[in-house]
Amino acid sequence: QVQLVESGGGVVQPGRSLRLSCAASGFTFSSYGIHWVRQAPGKGLEWVAVIWNDGVNKYYADSVKGRFTISRDNSRNTAHLQMNSLRVDDTAMYFCARDPEVHDSSGTRFDSWGQGTLVTVSS
Amino acid sequence: ELTQPPSVSVSPGQTVTIPCSGETVGDQNACWYQQKPGQSPVMIIYQDSKRPSGIPDRFSGSTSGNTATLTIRGTQPMDEADYYCQAWDSTTAWVFGTGTKVTVL
């Protein structure tokens, strides 16, 4: 069955870095775009970043642009989110989600999600 | 931004509608996600009105102009959750609605 498993979260001081991973199984990983979505405690969902199937196209929310980098390794069925210069307001549960039509403005959607990994930025 | 009412309440067996308004909505691009406490979101509607396999047919979606609407007919206690709309456009990229907490009284 489709599985997305996030890891790499933890407690980190402001200004430091963290690298999240998203391990996929149960589907053809290279056929899907991968998004990262975050949710601050008690708040709503916020889209963070996306990488297309082939890893060439990447897009970021303004709130993380220049600090976060999304990547993927299709040979290992894994995606990553490198988070630098972390701020207190980056504290959130981070989910990865797959997108079967990431290139299609009408078809793009988050059709399967992982369980999330918690990132806490605190001094 | 996509605007949703913060909360709605419904009696078991009744119908509830959740609107989602914003310029991003339109062009058959609205999706809806259900999130229960402590769980990951689950997609329940995509492309305005399509239902993934395994999602009960009491959930339906529609769009008119810049407003997408999620309708739950015959609401069950298990439908108590947070619901988020989501859409894409070339200016704001992927954006989620503000979220609606559905309480089944």
Please give the residue of chain A at the shortest CA–CA distance from B100.
A44
The pair of structure tokens assigned to A106 is: 């009408």
The pair of structure tokens assigned to A98 is: 């797959």
Is the minimum CB–CB distance between A72 and chain B shorter than 8 Å?
no
Count Cα atoms within 13 angstroms, Cβ side, for B97.
Answer: 32
Query: Given this model, what pLDDT does residue B33 score?
Result: 98
Q: B45 pLDDT exceeds 80?
A: yes
Mean pLDDT of B11-26: 94
The pair of structure tokens assigned to B91 is: 């200016």
Going by their DSSP bridges, the two strands A3-7 and A92-99 should be labelled as unpaired
Contact A107 B98 (CB under 8 A): no
Pick from B3, B28, B94 the residue to mutate for testing the A interface (most A CBs within 10 Å).
Answer: B94
Mean pLDDT of A16-25: 98
Confidence band for A103, pLDDT divided at 50, 70 and 90:
confident
A123: how many CB neighbours lie within 10 A of its CB?
A: 7
The pair of structure tokens assigned to A76 is: 């290992």
The C-alpha of A107 sits at a distance from chain B's nearest C-alpha, in angstroms, of: 6
Contact A110 B31 (CB under 8 A): yes
Count Cα atoms within 13 angstroms, Cβ side, for B89.
Answer: 14
Q: A107 pLDDT exceeds 90?
A: no
Query: Which residues, 6+ apart, have CB-to-CB distance to A28 below 8 Å?
Result: none
Q: Which residues of B35-56 are buried (b: 16+ CB within 10 A; e: fewer)?
A: beeeebbbbbbbbbeebeeebe
Rounded CA separation B3/A85 (Å): 31
Q: Which residue has the tokens 């993927």?
A: A72
